[in-house]
Structure 1
């Protein structure tokens, strides 16, 4: 491979004294809305993908400076690639500003390479990635970020949740971290298993993981909050209640506890990404893109080592010595392998009757990603994966796209499970920063992504089918009068449009969950409030006959069907018979 870094150094040196004149020439050609930025001392930069890969392993050094890299709507994909390839050197971005920008620590060489292609950059020398948001410090939380629990607090709260709700939550030790396997301390890797102990055979299964990458604070916190939300709302929220009655929700909030302890803010190693495996007593550093360990999201089996990795043992994307070499990977993969196999091979479509769904929580980029990530090839179930991806992205307002849309990466969690079992698998790249400010997390990221996870729990019974169908919304009872809205349009169409159809039917069930394997569940038809089913959103109604029902609380399930003969997932409401 050419030494692009050396070439760019020569180019920079040759042109550095004419930079101001070139800026003046380019300023005349720029649109008016950017001229004020240029007058403020900006110069033009851009991404050539090959250059970004060349700089991937560059360490933070004294020659690096913090910059704002501004981008236009047309440059959004390139901007996201900058974020991903610079890793810890691009800790935050601001997509909602009038002039969206990335905050990145880059050298003069990189600045010049970007400059020649067209991004705008402004020096941001007073930027502090650990205190970007005005967050009050707390003794109980990551220093500077009161909304995120440390590794120790996360584990303690998992144990308390299970102890306080023995009929609803089971805590399982699924393996050990690297340090624990070598007698250097370390932690158990814990899985929360949420399901009501009611003797009902469970038809749905959802697996959620967080904390694969140590410095990504949002994932573990959201995973644990999802567990707490389900527990807190069981018995009072009808949808949460039927989800836990009929499915198993498995949550591994902290896949990489050793790494997270490094990134918790109690040390100076907050950029830590990998696990804490010191390979061959190497002499790696302990910060940024130069630290020891293996990238767990490059260590899974499928297509291990083929793309998006760096074989420098100190690099952020070092995939380990072999596939599934790390104990953390083995622990998660052992859970994955307990899922039913719906796949004949990774090159053939999995059965559309597949049950189960997987979501791996990461940050950042505001993306919903699905296989394949290792390269440009489409997954055999790409159409169904795309539909569900657009549905999930409707709830969290992220951009839905195939995982390799940013850059190829092999040996990832989602590619591996889909290849092995044929189950739909996704990565959420949440938020806009590794060290996401608590204001944005509490007001937007957490509530939106919790909604996406709840939908995932509803869809996991038929994840290749339900997302094609309409949602049942606003299910309500007034006495015995049942009403709802059936809506077939709820997709995120920011990256292509999902086909939608008119509503053709709606129905409800009393105390019997509608499932293809339970044919005895009896449906009752609902009618369109306006008299006919002829639009993509319909208000529907019915009157429930309660004669013969026992006194007490009952569950009413509602669902709708569109013109493509697609039934959506159910939504529910409680009915009390006095």
Structure 2
């Protein structure tokens, strides 16, 4: 909940904010936890101008901006709260939300102690003792789900181990460690690096014997896709890069489970798995294993305690989402060199094994002769000039500048990359950092396409499509993937809290993101192009089954008004392009083949008024309907695809329905009347009376026999 009353604003406090920024005070990034472990606060700070908002979002980690109420909300520890108040900011504690968070912490996270050591470590839910957090799987449970799905759907699922985490790289099998087995288990490694005061907050029996590796689950109809000349588009998710964010990892898993469980019963699920491939990577299993046992559940970074040894577990380590190479250490405020800061970038780009493993999986390996990345989950669609023909994508290689201005081909068909986060209800896209080489702004050459995708998704999940949260973020996943490959790349900040209750997750967070990913799956074939056209939904075949040779009624809603536009809020951030709603020109149905497949034949559908249309935009939302001739279709289930086209001749998303055809009833053919050969005829010439009498008797017998058959 949000506080409803207006907070008074001290005079000219924006001057204080500006001074704080100039002095280098990223509040949430530099203050370790102090005081009682349960002291997490939900705070609200009002703002009166764009400058105020700009400064606030730079001070607060993952802030949620309510532009209507003109407030900024965040979750902070006691040290962070103290620093904000020292700066003279009008901080108001949201008492109700603070109480909910503390109840969440007290009842669940870190309260998993059992009377005896767990014989299956890592397989408990985040909270086995209460329903508020029991919906979130641990790393061990997620990986168990990977394997269970692969066993259940062997033709649709593959699981792969990508590599070791930082802690996994330190681990040694028992008996092989020359240093008294200090590296021979997860627990021994924690004892080696963390003080007893921190270890006492964990139930050490719940850690696995050795650190989990980085694994990926891939879902798709491999047999069908491998038989096609064109490679399928891919949706690549990374989840849990910031360990304390529980909801994103669960959303990714549940969406893949929905696809698989509904493949036989939902036409869109079948279309998606037949057409696309879905990759879900658990990015930071070390950090997540800590966060699952951490009382305050505030672990953000990985567990590289050798590089960043700090007083608490959560302060140590490297922020993996500041460790990616494209734009790492650009010289601005996008990350920190303070080892104990929450956004510590690491000693070098790709210094962390987790970063290297995921980057290698997504982009593949560099082929200098072809001047492109090959073999990754997403193909390279960003052309390289001779100047930038090198694996670093830098001017003439070496230490030259990155290529910030070359865009991907609008025909890019490789898919989309999404890094799943909590908890600002926002869809962010590249660039996340301003550079003088790019006229000191954040816009990419593909800005229209990137913004349109985000605004279409935002219609479905009701998030803010705003490109950045108000502060620079250098060295991020999305900037690296877009920078190297040109693939549409996003950070989706889901939910309202790091401490999202299961009730809210099930009622709001998962359904709204399911809708967004459902839409994205239906435009994945050409993600820069298809969102420029209308969204087609609710494809229905009127009859449960139709007889072969008859006609079936198909209906659908075709809507070009499905955008959600958001202003950036900050004056120094360019506003995204404003969507232009277009009239629907036509809609086509296809039986058995997608619109872009060879041999696909579009069947024109009639357009009529829709009760879903907005006043004044009636021609932008239409009902499409028509009759499908089933002549020549074999009995069984067929796929029907519908796609709308707007007045700019832009085709949009595709939606599907099953057409069940049953065989026509078997009809026993009439026995033909045999010609009378008159074998009893005695001689040539005219028939005499005997011949005529015998013929009459024969015809009468045939007629009688036919009547009996009827």
Same fold (TM over 0.5): yes
Distance change >3 Å, CA 198–CA 148, structure 1 → 2: same
Unpaired segments ≥5 residues, structure 2: 113-123, 172-182, 184-209, 364-375, 385-403, 435-440, 544-551, 568-575, 611-616, 663-710
Instruction: Return the alpha-carbon distance in structure 2 between the equivalents of residues 421 and 321 of structure 1.
Output: 25
Instruction: Return the alpha-carbon distance in structure 2 between the equivalents of residues 123 and 483 of structure 1.
Output: 48
Query: Match for residue 218 of structure 1?
Result: 247
Partner deviation per Cα, 1:382-405 (whole Å, 9 max, x = no partner): 1110111111111111100123x4
Alpha-carbon shift at residue 520 of structure 1 (Å): 2.0
Distance change >3 Å, CA 552–CA 78, structure 1 → 2: farther
Larger Rg: 2
Query: Match for residue 321 of structure 2?
Result: 297
| SS at structure 2 position matched to 1:351 | coil
Alpha-carbon shift at residue 250 of structure 1 (Å): 1.0
Which of 418, 425, 428 is residue 489 of structure 2 equivalent to? 425
Which of 549, 557, 565 is residue 641 of structure 2 equivalent to? 557
Partner deviation per Cα, 1:146-205 (whole Å, 9 max, x = no partner): 111112111111211112111111111111111112224321211111011333334321
Q: Does 1:319 align with 2:342?
A: no
Distance change >3 Å, CA 231–CA 314, structure 1 → 2: same
Q: Does 1:70 align with 2:44?
A: yes
Query: Match for residue 164 of structure 1?
Result: 152
Alpha-carbon shift at residue 128 of structure 1 (Å): 7.2
Alpha-carbon shift at residue 109 of structure 1 (Å): 4.7
Distance change >3 Å, CA 453–CA 519, structure 1 → 2: same
Distance change >3 Å, CA 314–CA 245, structure 1 → 2: same
Distance change >3 Å, CA 72–CA 353, structure 1 → 2: same
Indicate conservation of the 8 Å contact 2:54/2:471, yes or no.
no
Instruction: Return the alpha-carbon distance in structure 1 between the equivalents of residues 55 and 361 of structure 2.
Output: 31
Distance change >3 Å, CA 162–CA 84, structure 1 → 2: farther
Indicate conservation of the 8 Å contact 1:176/1:189, yes or no.
yes
Query: Match for residue 390 of structure 1?
Result: 455
Q: Does 1:131 align with 2:210?
A: no
Distance change >3 Å, CA 489–CA 135, structure 1 → 2: farther
Distance change >3 Å, CA 132–CA 78, structure 1 → 2: farther
Distance change >3 Å, CA 294–CA 232, structure 1 → 2: same
Indicate conservation of the 8 Å contact 1:368/1:400, yes or no.
yes
Query: Match for residue 467 of structure 2?
Result: 402
Query: Match for residue 493 of structure 1?
Result: 565
Query: Match for residue 10 of structure 1?
Result: none
Indicate conservation of the 8 Å contact 1:148/1:218, yes or no.
yes
The TM-score with structure 1 as length reference comes to 0.84
Partner deviation per Cα, 1:112-159 (whole Å, 9 max, x = no partner): 4243xxx45248597474524897799642135111111211111121
Query: Match for residue 141 of structure 1?
Result: 125
Which of 168, 171, 187 is residue 180 of structure 1 equivalent to? 168
Instruction: Return the alpha-carbon distance in structure 2 between the equivalents of residues 414 and 463 of structure 1.
Output: 16
Instruction: Return the alpha-carbon distance in structure 1 between the equivalents of residues 42 and 242 of structure 2.
Output: 25
Partner deviation per Cα, 1:283-338 (whole Å, 9 max, x = no partner): 412255xx221111011110112241111122111111211121111121112111
Indicate conservation of the 8 Å contact 1:396/1:449, yes or no.
yes
Q: Does 1:349 align with 2:407?
A: yes
Query: Match for residue 17 of structure 1?
Result: none
Indicate conservation of the 8 Å contact 1:507/1:524, yes or no.
yes
Q: Does 1:121 align with 2:102?
A: no
Partner deviation per Cα, 1:259-286 (whole Å, 9 max, x = no partner): 001100x234621111111234x54122
- Bigger drift between 504-513 and 522-531 goes to 522-531
Query: Match for residue 274 of structure 1?
Result: 301
Instruction: Return the alpha-carbon distance in structure 2 between the equivalents of residues 549 and 466 of structure 1.
Output: 29
Report the number of matched residues. Answer: 528
Which of 107, 110, 114 is residue 84 of structure 2 equivalent to? 110
Indicate conservation of the 8 Å contact 1:43/1:120, yes or no.
no
The TM-score with structure 2 as length reference comes to 0.69
Indicate conservation of the 8 Å contact 1:135/1:437, yes or no.
no
Indicate conservation of the 8 Å contact 1:312/1:318, yes or no.
yes
Which of 283, 286, 289 is residue 261 of structure 1 equivalent to? 289
Partner deviation per Cα, 1:420-439 (whole Å, 9 max, x = no partner): 01110000011111121222
Query: Match for residue 589 of structure 2?
Result: 508
Unpaired segments ≥5 residues, structure 1: 1-32
